[in-house]
Amino acid sequence: MAFDNLAEKLAQRKAESLYRRRRVLQSPQGATVCVDGQNFLAFCSNDYLGLANDSRLKAAMVDAVNLSGVGSGASHLVNGHHEQHHLLEEELAEFLGVERVLCFSSGYMANIGTVNALLGKQDHVFEDRLNHASLLDAGLLSGARFHRYLHADVASLNSKLSRAMHPGSERLVITDGVFSMDGDVAPLAELAQACRQHDAWLMVDDAHGYGVIGKGGRGAVNAAGLSVKDVPLQVGTLGKAFGTSGAFVAGDETTIETLIQFARSYIYTTAMPPSIAAATRKSLQIVMAEDWRRQHLATLIAAFRKGCEQLGFRLMSSTTPIQPILMGTADLAIRWSLFLQEKGILITAIRPPTVPAGTSRLRITFTAAHTEADVMRLIDQLKIGLRNPELAKALRCEDGQ
Ligand SMILES: Cc1ncc(COP(=O)(O)O)c(C=O)c1O
C-alpha cells in the first residue's frame, strides 16, 4: 500500500522523544501568555522588542485595514504591490543605508527565492553547518554544489573556497547573522574578507539581529562595521523584533531588480496584506527611536547569565536575547521543559533535527516586555529544579552526549 509507513515513522519519532505537539496560544504575545487555557511566564517567543502587541502597531494596522481592505488580492507583479509595501521598502532601504530593499511574505520564502534566483547547477554554495533550515533548503534546492563549513570557522570556509575556484562558476557564502538556536554572532568581518579573497558573495540572514544589535537596531552587518559592498545580500525577517510578519532582502539596484525578475517565491505568491506593511512601518520608527528596549534587554541578559553561571548551568557564548541552556539529550531537555511548565514557566525544548544530536537545549529568549523580577523567578525555579537528581544531570552533560 502507498505510504503505509507513515504511522511507523510517527511512532519512531515518539520513541526518540522527538515528537512535536502544537500548543494553542490564546492571548497576544507578551511576557505572560495564555496557552491551552493556562497562564505562563514565557521565555520562548522571538518578539525580542516586545512589539507584537504594541498599541501603536495595532492602531497602524487597523487604520490600514480600514483604508486598504484585508487581503492584497494579487501577487506583486500583477496588481498586489500596494503603496504600503512600496513605502516600507523605501523606509527600510534608508534605515539600512542600501539602494534597494525587496519585501517577501516570509523569511523562508526570501531565502528560497534569493538563493535560487542567483545560483544554478554550475555554481557553488557554502553554508555554515548551523545555518537556519530555510538557508540550507535554499542551497540544496538550487542544485549548486553544496559545501557546509564548520560553525563560524573561517579556516574551514577558506579551505573549501580555495578548492572550488572553477572558471565560469559563482560562489555564494551564506551565514546566519545571529544564529537562531545558539544566539552567537557570525564572524562577519572575517567571512567578508574570505569572500573578497575568493571572489565570492556573502549573504547574511540576520533574522535575529535586526532590531536587537547594531546601531539603532541595524543588525549584525552594521555592528561589524560592514556595508553592502562587503555583504551584497542582507536578509531580515519582520516576524521577530519588528513584531509583525514577512521579510526583506537588502542590496544594490541590480541585485534587487534581479530578484524581482527571477525569485519565484516573490513572483508566484500573493503579496502580504498591506496592513502588515503599514504596521511594520510604525514598528520601524519604534525600532529606531526606542533604544531603551535594547538597553533593557542587555540588563535582563546580564542578570540571567550571572544567575545561571552561579548555578553551574552550561550556557552558550551568546550576548543576544537567545540564551540557550545546553542539556544534551532530548529526553533531559523535555524533562526540564515539563518541570518548568508545572511551575508556570513556558520554555520549549529544542531537539534534533532542529539542532545537532546530543545538543538538545532549553532555548530561552528574552523580550523587552520582561522585567528583572521575571528573570529572577526563572532563576529561582531553575535552582529548585536542580534539587531533583534527574534534572541535575544538566550540569554534567557534555557536547555530543
Ligand atoms: C535565521 C532565520 N531565517 C529565516 C527564518 C524564517 O523566517 P520566517 O519565519 O519569516 O519564515 C527564521 C525563523 O523563522 C530564522 O531563524
Confidence band, pLDDT 50/70/90 cuts, at residue 387: very high
The SS3 assignment for 376 reads helix
Judged against a pLDDT cut of 50, whether residue 380 lies above it is answered with yes
pLDDT score recorded for residue 18: 86
Across the range 328-347, mean pLDDT stands at 96
Pick the residue with more confidence: 194 or 398? Answer: 194
By most ligand atoms within 8 Å of CB, the mutation choice from 45, 47, 108 for ligand 1 is 108
- Please state the φ and ψ torsions of residue 167, each to the nearest 5 degrees: -60, 145
Give the pLDDT of residue 296. 98
Q: In which band, very low, low, confident or very high, does the pLDDT at 397 lie, cut at 50, 70 and 90?
A: low
> Is the pLDDT assigned to residue 89 strictly greater than 80?
yes
Q: What is the mean pLDDT of residues 284-298?
A: 98
| Helix locations, 78-213, DSSP H | 83-96, 107-118, 133-142, 154-162, 188-197
CA–centroid distance, 203 to ligand 1, in Å, is 14
Of 184, 168, 166, nearest to 176 by C-alpha is 184
Residues 336-346 have a mean pLDDT of 98
Determine the residue of 45, 103, 135, 180 to mutate for testing ligand 1's pocket, defined as the one with the most ligand atoms within 8 A of the Cβ atom.
Answer: 180
Q: Is the CB of 247 under 6 A from ligand 1?
A: yes
Could you tell me the distance, in angstroms and rounded to a whole number, from the CA of residue 88 to the centre of ligand 1? 19
> Are 183 and 323 spatial neighbours (Cβ–Cβ below 8 Å)?
yes
Q: pLDDT tens digits, residue range 92-120? A: 999 999 999 999 999 999 999 999 999 99
Atom of ligand 1 nearest to the CA of 239: 10
The verdict on the CB of residue 107 being under 6 Å from ligand 1 is yes
Residue 135 pLDDT > 90: yes
More confident residue, 128 or 401: 128
Average pLDDT of the residues in 342-355: 95
pLDDT at residue 46 tops 80: yes
**Residues with active-site annotation:** 180, 208, 240
- The atom of ligand 1 lying closest to the CA of 178 is 1
- Distance from the alpha carbon of residue 290 to the mean position of ligand 1, in angstroms: 24
pLDDT in tens, 262-273: 999 999 999 999
pLDDT, residue 336, reads 97
Cα separation of 388 and 371, whole Å? 27
Ligand 1 pocket residue status of 237, Cβ below 6 Å:
yes
The residue whose CA is least distant from atom 16 of ligand 1 is 180
State the closest ligand 1 atom to the C-alpha of 108, by its place in the atom list counted from 1.
11
Domains contained in the chain, CATH given: 21-49+291-396 (3.90.1150.10), 55-288 (3.40.640.10)
| Averaged pLDDT score across all residues of the chain | 96
Q: With residue 309 as reference, give the H or E element that holds it.
A: helix 291-311
Q: Is the pLDDT of residue 399 over 60?
A: no
Cell of 169: 562558476
- Whether residue 294 is predicted with pLDDT greater than 90 in this model: the reply is yes
Average pLDDT over residues 207-225: 98
d(CA 369, ligand 1 centre) in Å: 21
Is residue 400 very low, low, confident or very high in pLDDT (cuts 50, 70, 90)? very low
The pLDDT value recorded for residue 396 is 65
**Gap from CA of 237 to ligand 1 centroid (Å):** 6
> Probe ligand 1: pick from 129, 134, 176, 213, max atoms within 8 Å of CB?
134
Say how far residue 74 (Cα) sits from the centre of its chain.
27
Percentage of the chain beyond pLDDT 70 is 99
pLDDT tens digit string along 158-171?
Answer: 999 999 988 899 99
pLDDT value of residue 191: 98
Contact 71, 59 (CB under 8 A): no
Determine if ligand 1 sits within 6 Å of the CB of residue 335. no
Residue nearest to atom 7 of ligand 1 (CA): 107
CA 391, 393, 394: angle at the middle one, nearest 5?
Answer: 80
